[in-house]
Amino acid sequence: MLGRRSSDWCLARAVSLWGIVAILAAGPAPVAGAVDPAAEAALVRTYYDLAVAEYCGLVTQPVYIGFFLLRHDQLARGKFGAGDNNEARRVADLAADLEYFDRGLSGQKNWCRTEGAVAVARFTTYFQRRELP
């Protein structure tokens, strides 16, 4: 019985995760003056990278400063509203939470070595050079 419930739960989780991804990918209908999808994706990635670095305990002062500088630059260039910014943060936090729960404790080490290290390098480089990645 436990195996059946476990596989049902995994299937439901996978279906719901792909459903979330499909809804987010489709998004609302475009309106005049809407945010550029590439700029929005870049902002979501910035929030996601910070969440990964925080989960992994890799955040230092240069990482935080690089994150804040990059985020402010993206917000200024992308003409985001407060709602767009909050939505990007929410989507990124949800994606990071799902990824963390999917990997578990043993998989987290590899996640931190790969995506965590990339996130730290991205923010630190931006802090040092002020160049968009």
In this structure, the answer to whether residues 5 and 42 fall within a common structural domain is no
In this structure, the answer to whether residues 12 and 49 fall within a common structural domain is no
For residue 114, which of 29, 31, 43, 55 has the smallest C-alpha distance?
55
Q: Which residue has the higher pLDDT, 2 or 103?
A: 103
In this structure, the answer to whether residues 53 and 23 fall within a common structural domain is no
Task: Report the interhelical angle of 117-129 vs 61-78 (nearest 10°).
Answer: 70
For residue 102, which of 47, 32, 55 has the smallest C-alpha distance?
55
Residue range 60-116, pLDDT digits in tens:
999 999 999 999 999 998 888 889 999 999 999 999 999 988 877 677 888 889 999
Range of the domain at 14: 1-30
Contacts of 118 (CB under 8 A, 6+ apart): 49
In this structure, the answer to whether residues 7 and 55 fall within a common structural domain is no
Asked if the model's pLDDT at residue 53 lies above 90, the reply is: yes
| Tally of domains within the chain | 2
pLDDT of residue 100: 87
In this structure, the answer to whether residues 56 and 110 fall within a common structural domain is yes
Asked if the model's pLDDT at residue 28 lies above 90, the reply is: no
In this structure, the answer to whether residues 46 and 110 fall within a common structural domain is yes
In this structure, the answer to whether residues 101 and 75 fall within a common structural domain is yes
Q: How far apart are CA 110 and CA 85, in angstroms?
A: 29
Provide the mean pLDDT of the chain: 80
In this structure, the answer to whether residues 42 and 26 fall within a common structural domain is no
**Number of C-beta neighbours around residue 89 at 10 A:** 18
Q: Which residue has the higher pLDDT, 51 or 32?
A: 51
In this structure, the answer to whether residues 23 and 88 fall within a common structural domain is no
In this structure, the answer to whether residues 22 and 60 fall within a common structural domain is no
Q: How far apart are CA 72 and CA 88, in angstroms?
A: 13
Contacts of 87 (CB under 8 A, 6+ apart): none
User: Token digits for 85?
Assistant: 């910014």
Residues in the chain: 133
Question: Band of the pLDDT at 29, cuts 50, 70, 90?
Answer: very low
In this structure, the answer to whether residues 53 and 4 fall within a common structural domain is no
